[in-house]
């Protein structure tokens, strides 16, 4: 993203944010409705996974806003109008549940019993 611009030249804040939301976020959250589900194996997604995603978002937010390296993650999220990673995961999972519940194939899904 840094080759597309910074705070002085290139694509502005809105454009960089759109690229991040359209390209990076879907890749980061790919299949998170599976790996972030705490009930599958009795444990939540690891702290290391969450830390990796937060670090990735912080790097992108620094590039988008042109902020200094010492700027805190919450401040970067506010400055670039981004949800914290954990809230993005919750939002994504809620959207997945909404799509499943609005599906026409609900009777077929009710017959599915994992692990059998």
Query: Tens of pLDDT along 53-109?
Result: 999 999 999 988 888 989 999 999 999 999 999 999 999 989 988 888 887 766 665
61, 28 contact by CB (below 8 A): no
Nearest to 28 by CA among 75, 83, 97: 83
Token pair in block for residue 78: 């506010």
Structure pTM?
0.71
77, containing H or E segment: helix 73-79
The interaxial angle of helices 47-65 and 85-101, nearest 10 deg, is 110
Q: Where are the domains of the chain?
A: 11-101
Query: Which residue in the block uniquely carries the two structure tokens 């010492």?
Result: 70
């Amino acid at each position: 993203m840094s080759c597309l611009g910074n705070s002085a030249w290139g694509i502005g804040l809105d454009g960089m944010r759109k690229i991040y939301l359209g390209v990076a976020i879907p890749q980061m959250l790919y299949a998170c409705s599976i790996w972030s589900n705490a009930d599958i194996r009795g444990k939540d997604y690891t702290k290391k996974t969450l830390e990796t995603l937060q670090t990735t978002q912080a790097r992108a937010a620094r590039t988008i806003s042109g902020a200094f390296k010492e700027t805190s993650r919450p401040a970067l999220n506010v400055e670039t109008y981004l949800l914290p990673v954990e809230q993005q995961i919750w939002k994504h999972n809620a959207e997945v549940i909404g799509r499943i519940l609005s599906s026409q194939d609900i009777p077929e899904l009710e017959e599915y019993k994992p692990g059998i």
